[in-house]
């Protein structure tokens, strides 16, 4: 890898992602792009001025000239309007489809072989928009949210049980939104299924809080989350840059897996240097599969709203 990563969107999430990329030294340079004049330059300068104290090499630059993004190996799309209290992710549909489509079309002209991580909401639909706008192969586009939803579920389980977050593994499938599908059967604490450690009513409450995780933060601080989403992005970047071949829950383009066709749905995938190397199919109960199919059906309806057709 040549060590260049581009981030589109210099908002809270984009800024947090850039900071984490610099801290983790995953790349030789980070290019930050934003349509607002001076915003990306200001954040880049702020990070650069901290470098003597942080003892980090000043690798962040503002991408006002898109030529600076050329041959990026990873492109992260965080650009778009953010949810306000009372809004659903669906309310952002048409606004962000235009924004994400423009960003990816620009990025793909300079970095057609990059791996694209989509963060903008509604996330599953934005992955489809990105793939079409950049004419990208499906293995080079994923959505971040499965990692985010899963880590929220892990945290809530660890807090409820009073155990280390390191002991908790969880699985959340489907849409990034109200129709996500947490799967307690595949969620464990030190290998013990959480269903053996918690009564059903408490487990159902934690599942509900996971589904409401983003909205809860918006209610508290009147803007969308950014620290946890940035950490989720970094975990995915790490899997690609270091060729970990790590299995992570991501929004991936399905071609019949789980009985779902031509839709970006959250499922376990193997991430490595070549992108999505495999989609992992786990056995689901009839109830779990029905919930996952229903989640995919909602995503397809959203695609129809913006005039996208599957295929």
- Exposed / middle / buried, residue 60 (Cβ in 10 Å: 0-12, 13-18, 19+): buried
Give 129: exposed, middle or buried? Use CB within 10 Å, 0-12, 13-18, 19+: buried
The two three-digit tokens of residue 106, written as one number: 């620009």
Helices 93-110 and 286-305 pack at an angle, to 10 degrees, of: 80
Q: Is 128 in the active site?
A: no
Average pLDDT, the chain: 90
Q: Is the pLDDT of residue 294 over 90?
A: yes
Q: pLDDT at residue 107 above 80?
A: yes
Over residues 11-36, the mean pLDDT reads 90
Instruction: Identify the pLDDT of residue 222.
Output: 87
pLDDT at 198 over 70: yes
Label residue 65 by pLDDT band (50, 70, 90): confident
| pLDDT value of residue 58 | 56
pLDDT range class, residue 71, cuts 50, 70, 90 = very high
Q: What is the pLDDT of residue 104?
A: 97
Q: Is pLDDT of 189 > 80?
A: yes
Q: What was the pLDDT predicted at 9?
A: 94
Query: In this structure, what token pair is assigned to residue 285?
Result: 């109960």
Residue 48 has pLDDT above 70, yes or no: yes
Residue 1 pLDDT greater than 90, yes or no: no
Confidence class for position 38, pLDDT limits 50, 70, 90? confident
Interval 241-277: pLDDT, tens:
999 999 999 999 999 999 999 999 999 999 999 999 9
Q: Is the pLDDT of residue 311 over 50?
A: no
When pLDDT is cut at 50, 70 and 90, the band that residue 141 belongs to is: very high
**310 pLDDT tier (thresholds 50, 70, 90):** very low
In percent, how much of the chain has pLDDT > 90? 69
What is the C-alpha separation between 222 and 41, in angstroms, rounded?
25
Give the list of residues 6+ apart from residue 217 with CB closer than 8 angstroms, or none. Answer: 224, 225
| pLDDT the model gives residue 117 | 98
Which of 23-37, 80-94, 101-115 bottoms out in mean pLDDT, i.e. has the lowest? 80-94
**Given the residues 128, 176, 211, 270, the one annotated as active site:** 176
C-alpha–C-alpha distance, residues 163 and 170, integer Å: 14
Of the pLDDT bands very low, low, confident and very high (cuts 50, 70, 90), residue 193 is very high
Q: What is the average pLDDT across 209-232?
A: 91
CB contact burial 69-94 (16+ within 10 A = b; e otherwise): beebbbbbbbbbebbeeeeebbebbe
Query: What value does the mean pLDDT take over residues 52-65?
Result: 72
């Amino acid at each position: 890898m040549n060590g260049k990563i581009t981030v589109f969107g210099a908002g809270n999430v984009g800024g947090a992602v850039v900071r984490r990329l610099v801290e983790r030294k995953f790349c030789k340079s980070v290019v930050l792009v934003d349509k607002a004049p001076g915003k990306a330059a200001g954040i880049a300068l702020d990070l650069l001025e901290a470098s003597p104290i942080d003892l980090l090499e000043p690798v962040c630059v503002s991408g006002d000239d898109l030529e600076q993004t050329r041959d990026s190996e990873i492109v992260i799309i965080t650009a778009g309007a953010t949810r306000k209290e009372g809004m659903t992710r669906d309310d952002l549909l048409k606004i962000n489809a235009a924004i994400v489509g423009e960003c990816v079309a620009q990025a793909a002209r300079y970095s057609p072989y990059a791996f694209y991580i989509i963060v903008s909401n509604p996330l599953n639909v934005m992955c489809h928009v990105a793939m079409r706008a950049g004419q990208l192969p499906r293995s080079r586009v994923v959505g971040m949210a499965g990692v985010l939803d899963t880590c929220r579920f892990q945290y809530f389980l660890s807090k409820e049980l009073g155990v280390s977050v390191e002991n908790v593994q969880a699985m959340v499938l489907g849409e990034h939104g109200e129709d996500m599908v947490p799967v307690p059967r595949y969620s464990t604490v030190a290998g013990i299924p959480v269903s053996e450690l918690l009564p059903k009513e408490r487990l159902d409450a934690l599942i509900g809080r996971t589904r409401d995780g983003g909205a809860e933060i918006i209610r508290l601080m009147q803007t969308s989350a950014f620290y946890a989403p940035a950490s989720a992005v970094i975990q995915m970047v790490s899997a690609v840059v270091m060729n970990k071949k790590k299995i992570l829950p991501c929004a991936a383009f399905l071609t019949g897996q789980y009985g779902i066709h031509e839709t970006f749905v959250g499922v376990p995938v193997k991430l490595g240097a070549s992108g999505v190397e495999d989609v992992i199919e786990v056995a689901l109960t009839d109830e779990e599969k029905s919930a996952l199919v229903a989640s995919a059906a909602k995503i397809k309806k959203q695609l129809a709203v913006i005039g996208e057709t599957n295929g």
